[in-house]
Amino acid sequence: MAGAFILCVNAGSSTLKGSLLEASADGGVAEVKGRSVTIDRVPSAEALDEALAALGVSGPEALCAVGHRVVHGGTEFREPVRVDESVKAAIARLSVLAPLHNPPALAAIQAAERRFPNVPHVAAFDTAFFADLPPERVVYSLPYEWYERWGVRRFGFHGLSHQYASGRAQAMLGGGRQRVVVLHLGNGCSASAVVEGNPVATTMGFTPMEGLMMGTRSGSVDPGILLYATREKGLTVEALDDALNHRSGLLGVSGVSGDFRAVAAAAGEGHERACLALAIYADRARAVVGSLATAMGGIDALVFTAGVGEHAASMRADICRGLEFLGLAIDLYRNAPAVPDADVSLAGGTGRILVIQAREDVMIARAARAAIG
């Protein structure tokens, strides 16, 4: 008889997160206290075994499914799917669009399949939440044949996080029309506009490089800079790839680190470039909130989630500075000690500012439960 637990595997480029959730009798999932772990090493069979040991999973008898987060599902995957050879081949094929993310996810899937060969494995895709964005927010202003022939379009990423955070915000807001901007701020950063649970815009695009400034990724830049770097400075495509993905963002500007905490610490000691990096980070996020609010015709709530969004109170305050015209005013006294899930809005504002814990594992478990029936 199948067990009652769902193992959730979230493979990043340099970490592997594992969680154990219970498949509840009502068809949902329930958290198992203390059953989550992060292994700070490249996803592999050894990292998976380390996570399983920390979670107390010794064999398949307790599991009814294993759910996997996969960043890029392209246009093929609009829903969670049971993993088979064709699914793994597609994930590998899409690695060209998410080279930092899809290969580790595939490695984790293969390691988990070897560990639990008779348990159903389910892939949940970050891109699926944004599959039905309006056409004007999918097609780039490039030669149209690039869209038709090459599939160049906006996909959007961090979908599992945006889906959970916007749903949790809806529950915290109660009734009425709900127009939510979600800021997922971690090593990777993205924002979305969600109206009553349906995404209408997002900042990441064809790859997870577009949009906000990130830890080591540039976010959006003038493409003319890239042409200049190749034509006039002789940078190869490989050198550009390395610069944009690994040597830009907080690291590139500060020269200190791609880790927000290290940059913030340096800024606190007066490091000039670290201060500049944080100022750019806040400015880009603040501008995006205004843009996404326009896409919805207003805003009822701004949500901060993921590592920086949940834990960096000073950055939340910096981002919110100047958003009062949107009805978003932060209460500095509530913001400083806030622990997710929390409302840090100043009383009297027309919009709410929420800090919500990132729970991609819950969405992975729900996806796995739905896919296995």
Q: Measured between alpha carbons, how far is 196 from 163 in angstroms, rounded to an integer? A: 11
Q: Measured between alpha carbons, how far is 30 from 23 in angstroms, rounded to an integer? A: 6
CA distances, 37 to each of 33, 47, 51, 228 (Å) = 11, 11, 6, 44
First to last CA, the chain: 15
Q: Is 26 tagged catalytic?
A: no
Burial degree of 201 (CB within 10 A; 0-12, 13-18, 19+): buried
Phi, psi of 233, rounded to the nearest 5 degrees:
-110, -5
The sign of the CA dihedral 232, 234, 235, 237 is positive
The strand pairing partners of 302, in sequence order, are 181, 353
Among candidate residues 40, 49, 126, 283, the one labeled active-site is 126
Catalytic residues: 126
